[in-house]
Amino acid sequence: MKKVSVASLLKKKQEGQKFATLTAYDASFAKLFDDCGIDLILIGDSLGMVLQGESSTLPVTVEQVAYHTRCVASSTQRTMVVADMPFMSYATPEQTYENAAELMRAGANMVKMEGGEWLCETIQGLVDRGVPVCGHLGLTPQSVNVFGGFKIQGRGDAAARQLINSAMELEKAGIQLLVLECIPAPLAKRVARSLTIPVIGIGAGKDTDGQILVMQDMLGITAGYVPSFSKNYLAATGDIREAVKLYIDEVEQGLFPAAEQSFDE
């Protein structure tokens, strides 16, 4: 099987083909998702909440993400593997280079960072040093204390303009993918159409190029709060493999997310 790459995801965007992605944190689920045809697996710092029982992603460390990245990378052949840079692991360019190198050595094909224009110099430095970068705008969970909770972002003209400008600046800096989280669907559509790179949504409507969900949310096994933008595919199928295949199929057909899993302006 041919390995999914930035080039192959870009080709899908250019041809109007949507693609599905998921988080994973261990070898067993990663192999299952790989076998089912998931294009990208994110080892998210969401592991702090869904695996460790924390109230936010902030306690997660680089060492923990590297451990789970190694588990995922060891059992996948086709899917692209992206690793989250945890909270305060990229405060300076030098710190970022060291931590990104650790995640790449663990098996990541790309690292993901949350934030806007302030990251541009660091992103350029990573790309120059051979590290592909995925950006993340909208509701950035590492900034939960700044936002005052997990709230929808990008509402209002000023906030929307700022988010679009940030996305364009990140693309100029060299990101090759962008995640948009919890923003109004019309705004996500504008961002996806403004950028040449693939845009992946979570709680951002159906008009992004790809979709991502936390695997526990998609399977309906999340302990505690379940996001309104998610959907329990296991309940509809009764089988994990069939649940993943249904998720992929609905994303590719533009059926997920539906209106009830999206936010308006």
Q: Contact at 8 Å (CB) between 227 and 201?
A: no
Residue 167 phi/psi, 5° resolution? Answer: -60, -45
Tell me: is residue 157 an annotated ligand-binding position: no
For residue 157, with 0-12 CB atoms within 10 Å meaning exposed, 13-18 middle and 19 or more buried, which class applies?
exposed
Distance from C-alpha of 192 to C-alpha of 201, rounded to nearest angstrom = 9
Distance from C-alpha of 262 to C-alpha of 126, rounded to nearest angstrom = 33
Nearest to 96 by CA among 78, 84, 79: 84
Tell me: is residue 11 an annotated ligand-binding position: no
Catalytic residue positions, numbered: 181
Tell me: is residue 45 an annotated ligand-binding position: yes
Tell me: is residue 12 an annotated ligand-binding position: no
Tell me: is residue 63 an annotated ligand-binding position: no
Indicate the annotated binding residues: 45-46, 84, 112, 114
Indicate the annotated binding residues for 3-methyl-2-oxobutanoate: 45-46, 84, 112
Indicate the annotated binding residues for Mg(2+): 45, 84, 114
